[in-house]
Structure 1
Amino acid sequence: MLEKLRQIKDMGLSAALRMALNEKFSRYGKISNLRLDTSAHRLLVDVLLEGESEETTLVVEEYELLRDGDAAVIRLGKITASRAWLEQAMNDAADRMLQERRLRVEHPAIAKVLKAVL
């Protein structure tokens, strides 16, 4: 029963996060699928990058999802990608441009879901 509730929570968080990230990063491409596994602290993202004909898969290991008022904060762990250059660029950007690898996502849908589950 608890596993089923966790799966429902993960599906809701995944949908809200996909919508928010698509809005925030639309200039780079479109996320077609986002799977959040709260028990493994793993985030899998399938994205069609602008100018590409095939999707790229990103995996964020050991993420942490936090609530900060009405915003969500994702602390990013190690990022892997199906393209080596993108993996290096994503980890470099997370290290250099985000304080403590934290990405703030301000979106009403995320706030609603977080208030319900966190």
Structure 2
Amino acid sequence: ELAELGELGEHSEHAKQVKQVRDDLKAHEAEITARIGKLARLVRNRSDTRPVECELQAHHDKGEALTVRTDTGEIIARRALTASERQLPLVRDDPRPPQADAAAIDAGEPPPPGSYDGEGGLE
């Protein structure tokens, strides 16, 4: 009886291992299937969508806001500045005149502290 009990224990352990391997293979198969689907969409659409870092640039002299890719400098979107974006701060940490902000932004320089941050507020 002890030998039979030991043998049954080994079979039970072996069955657990087989089940674990089967579950691992199913998970791996699901990953491969998902990858195949993604690659098939890429081939079919001939394009890939990826997140790209962009920044909003306020051009006060032109009255417009530009969304620009930071990696290529390409202009993605152009729109009119909102009323709140057109407002320059009354109190500034920087002694330069407010027009200097627009010139600095147009030149690609970051705005000084206390100026428009490109997202509706002050830096």
User: What TM-score, normalized to structure 2?
Assistant: 0.23
Larger C-alpha radius of gyration, 1 or 2?
Answer: 2
So what's the TM-score if we normalise by structure 1? 0.24
